[in-house]
């Protein structure tokens, strides 16, 4: 039995859909804080919350493989949640805990969440649970969030200097997760799941200009100014700070690497940022 944790989230939902499309024959159980929201499509559904150890233990009964979607709150609370998941997986004796980590995780990262991912990976190793870690790059879809504003204003505002990163399509990540759940031989492995190309914001502005025929210029602000602007827009403080830190980390070159792991898992080239933006533009 395959268990999908955090099943109502976007990456988890896409992975569940990919399991179906790829012809998975193993039973699937979907666990979420909001099971009523789930489209079951033949899968079992149940409640599970990373804050409630007993709910995780119940969800993992008779399960061999677990998709462990990283949580989405502040670092300390997130790590406590992750330790609950790891303890439940150890107790259940699962054969594969598939954790969605982040590229270049480090306790010293300028990106706050890099530390909770590094600590989670270390906790998984320490627990001795058979695990597969995927280190996801920044989602390409993050670049769509400001696309409307960029097109209206003609300006792409960022705080990442000339730093480069390799945006990756969420649909490709989901397909890779499904393939890793459907095949054997991944225990103990770490896969670096990046998009195919390294890009700076100057290159992204150029790409949007090419795709739309509209001249887009970049406007660089400081990470502190980004944090202030995001807070003013109503983002929770921890998230605004993390996103400012992400810009600092990009500028410092923490994500200036790409990998072919995703292409190997998919058996094809992953989607480029150009393809993701072009699809969104329709
Ligand atoms: N690589 C990137 O660029 C990037 C960007 C943003 C986030 N992320 C990370 O990747 C994860 C998945 O991304 P996404 O786009 O699918 O995010 P999303 O759509 O916002 O979903 C958030 C996920 O976190 C789960 N979750 C949060 N708190 C939980 C709790 N207490 N108990 C159980 N599940 C909990 C949710 O599960 P339920 O609501 O179903 O319980 C859901 O699957 C995020 O949670 C975050 O850690 C990565």
Rounded-to-integer distance, Cα 74 and Cα 72, Å: 7
- Domain contains 63: yes
The predicted pLDDT at position 230 comes to 96
Length of the chain: 282
Pocket probe for ligand 1: among 11, 31, 195, 255, the residue whose CB has the most ligand atoms within 8 Å is 11
How many structural domains compose the chain?
A: 1
- Domain contains 124: yes
Of 135, 145, 164, nearest in space to 251 by CA: 164
The predicted pLDDT at position 202 comes to 98
- Domain contains 145: no
Q: Please give the full DSSP string across 45-98, using - where no structure is assigned.
A: EEE--TT-HHHHHHHTTT-SEEEE----S-HHHHHHHHHHHHHHHHHHT-SEEE
Q: Is 37 exposed, middle or buried (0-12, 13-18, 19+ CB in 10 A)?
A: exposed
Of 163, 189, 167, 199, nearest in space to 261 by CA: 189
The predicted pLDDT at position 41 comes to 82
- Domain contains 87: yes
- Domain contains 203: no
Query: In sequence order, what are the residues at sequence separation of 6 or more whose Cβ sits closer than 8 angstroms to the Cβ of residue 186?
Result: 96, 98, 132, 180
The predicted pLDDT at position 40 comes to 78
Rounded-to-integer distance, Cα 275 and Cα 73, Å: 30
Rounded-to-integer distance, Cα 74 and Cα 103, Å: 18
Nearest CA to ligand 1 atom 18: 9
Pocket probe for ligand 1: among 72, 86, 104, the residue whose CB has the most ligand atoms within 8 Å is 72
- Domain contains 62: yes
The predicted pLDDT at position 39 comes to 83
Residue 100: which H helix or E strand, with range?
Answer: strand 96-102
Rounded-to-integer distance, Cα 252 and Cα 164, Å: 9
Q: Verify whether ligand 1 is closer than 6 Å to residue 7 (CB atom).
A: yes
The predicted pLDDT at position 42 comes to 84
Q: Which domain holds residue 49?
A: 2-137+168-194+257-270
- Domain contains 151: no
- Domain contains 175: yes
Assign residue 109 the CATH number of its domain: 3.40.50.720
Nearest CA to ligand 1 atom 28: 71
Q: Taking the model in full, what pTM does it have?
A: 0.98
Over the chain (282 residues), what is each successive 10-residue block's mean pLDDT? 97 97 97 92 93 97 98 96 98 97 97 97 98 98 97 98 98 98 97 98 98 98 98 96 98 98 98 98 94
Q: Can you tell me which residue has the tokens 């393939």?
A: 179
Nearest CA to ligand 1 atom 22: 9
Nearest CA to ligand 1 atom 7: 72
């Amino acid at each position: 039995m395959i268990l999908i944790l955090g099943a109502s989230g976007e990456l988890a939902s896409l992975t569940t859909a990919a399991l179906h499309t790829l012809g998975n024959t193993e039973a699937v159980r979907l666990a979420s804080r909001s099971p009523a929201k789930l489209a079951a499509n033949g899968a079992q559904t149940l409640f599970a919350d990373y804050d409630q150890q007993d709910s995780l233990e119940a969800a993992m009964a008779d399960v061999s493989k677990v998709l462990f979607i990283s949580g989405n709150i502040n670092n300390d609370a997130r790590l406590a949640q992750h330790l609950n998941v790891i303890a439940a997986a150890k107790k259940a004796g699962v054969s594969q805990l598939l954790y969605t980590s982040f590229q270049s995780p480090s306790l010293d990262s300028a990106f706050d969440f890099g530390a909770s991912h590094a600590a989670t990976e270390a906790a998984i190793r320490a627990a001795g649970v058979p695990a597969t870690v995927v280190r996801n790059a920044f989602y390409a879809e993050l670049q769509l969030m400001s696309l409307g504003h960029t097109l209206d204003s003609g300006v792409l505002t960022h705080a990442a200097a000339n730093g480069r990163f390799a945006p990756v399509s969420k649909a490709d990540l989901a397909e890779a997760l499904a393939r890793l759940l459907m095949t054997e031989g991944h225990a103990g492995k770490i896969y670096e799941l990046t998009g195919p190309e390294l890009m700076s914001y100057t290159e992204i502005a150029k790409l949007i200009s090419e795709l739309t025929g509209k001249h887009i210029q970049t406007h660089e602000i400081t990470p502190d100014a980004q944090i202030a602007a995001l807070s003013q827009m109503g983002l929770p403080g921890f998230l605004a700070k993390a996103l400012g830190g992400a810009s600092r980390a990009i500028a410092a070159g923490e994500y200036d690497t790409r990998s072919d792991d995703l292409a190997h898992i998919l058996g094809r080239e992953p989607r480029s940022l150009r393809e993701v933006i072009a699809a969104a533009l329709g």
